């Protein structure tokens, strides 16, 4: 199968508030007031954690039947540890992004503990967002001066 390309168009609205568009959908990302934003949306790192959680839930639901998991419900709680001193330039040795991301799966299914543990290992292994975070892609940047 050929590679697919996904696109995002992100534009500054005002202050730190940005409009994020993919296909016909728009989402506002902002910073809390305490960080200089207007608190009109999640901030970028919260959005990343939510993207990971959403991808894990969708992957779990998508493959449950074929993997013989009788999934009744699933909820994934995601948290990340980040030292803001790295981003703010206060500590040049601090990592700028997350140093640790933790996921907690809350699952209701008629399967054994071992079957569910094996299934969650599978879900983690096929989730595109998980894979992107765990194994950084090649980055390219182009600049267009107006």
Is 92 part of a structural domain of the chain?
yes
Report yes or no on 34 lying in a domain: yes
Task: Give the integer Cα–Cα distance in Å for 36 and 12.
Answer: 14
Q: Looking at the structure, do residues 29 and 56 belong to the same domain, yes or no?
A: no
Q: How far apart are the first and last CA of the chain?
A: 37
Length, in residues, of the chain: 146
Rounded to whole angstroms, how far apart are CA atoms 72 and 108? Answer: 5
Structural domain span for residue 91: 43-134
Q: Model confidence over 106-138: pLDDT tens digits?
A: 999 999 999 999 999 999 999 999 999 999 999
Same domain for 26 and 5: yes
Q: How confident is the model at residue 26 (pLDDT cuts 50, 70, 90)?
A: very high
- Tokens for 112, please give them: 């054994």
pLDDT digits (tens, 9 = 90+) for 55-110: 999 999 999 999 999 999 999 999 999 999 988 889 989 999 999 999 999 999 99
- Looking at the fold, whether 52 and 119 belong to one and the same domain comes out as yes
How many domains are there within the chain?
A: 2
Looking at residue 88, its pLDDT comes to: 87
Residue 126 burial (C-beta neighbours within 10 Å; 0-12, 13-18, 19+):
middle
Residue with tokens 């096929």: 126
């Amino acid at each position: 199968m050929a590679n697919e390309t996904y696109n995002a168009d992100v534009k500054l609205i005002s202050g730190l508030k940005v409009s994020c568009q993919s296909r016909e959908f728009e989402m506002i990302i902002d910073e809390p007031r305490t960080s200089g934003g207007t608190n009109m949306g999640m901030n970028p790192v919260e959005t990343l954690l939510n993207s990971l959680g959403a991808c894990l839930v969708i992957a779990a639901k998508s493959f449950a039947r074929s993997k013989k998991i009788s999934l009744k419900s699933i909820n994934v709680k995601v948290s990340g540890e980040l030292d803001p001193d790295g981003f703010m330039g206060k500590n040049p040795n601090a990592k700028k992004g997350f140093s640790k991301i933790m996921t907690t799966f809350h699952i209701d299914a008629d399967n054994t503990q071992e079957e569910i543990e094996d299934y969650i290992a599978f879900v983690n292994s096929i989730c595109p967002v998980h894979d992107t975070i765990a194994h950084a892609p090649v980055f390219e940047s182009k600049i267009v001066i107006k």
